[in-house]
Amino acid sequence: MESLRPRLAAAMSQTGARLRDVGLTPWVEPRAGLFLWRELPDGMDAAHIARRAMAEKIVLAPGNVFSPAQTAGRFLRFNVAQCADPRIFKLLRRAIQSVE
């Protein structure tokens, strides 16, 4: 466990910075853990982004998967341990630019 914590902390920091760089807003900023929640810009739907990602063999987690009330359609949840693939951030950047 002791060797895992610093690796997760580094992954959280790196993933958070990369998500900020593409323009995703933190919903909450956890101090530790495995997941980051980010809000998409106005006019974007997380399920739509997840389907686009799946077409490119990238798995993203739209917020409504975790929302019984289905009120998290503008949010994505990122597992920081699985965000080393630069294609994730390229896809997000393209998706955001297509809305602007």
The stretch 47-56 carries a mean pLDDT of: 96
Tell me phi and psi for residue 87, to 5 degrees.
-60, -30
What is the C-alpha separation between 35 and 39, in angstroms, rounded?
13
The stretch 36-51 carries a mean pLDDT of: 95
**CA-based nearest residue to 61, from 83, 43, 41, 42:** 83
Task: Say what the pLDDT of residue 94 is.
Answer: 94
Q: Is the pLDDT of residue 1 over 80?
A: no
- pTM score of the predicted model: 0.91
pLDDT in tens, 63-91: 999 999 999 999 999 999 999 999 999 99
Confidence of residue 100 (pLDDT cuts 50, 70, 90): low
> Which domains are present in the chain?
4-99 (3.90.1150.10)
pLDDT in tens, 23-41: 999 998 898 899 999 999 9
DSSP string of 20-50?
Answer: HHHTPEES---SSSSEEEEEPPTT--HHHHH
> Considering Cα of 81, then 68, then 29, then 94, what sign does the dihedral take?
positive
Q: Each residue of 33-48: b (16+ CB within 10 Å) or e?
A: eeebbbbbeeebebee
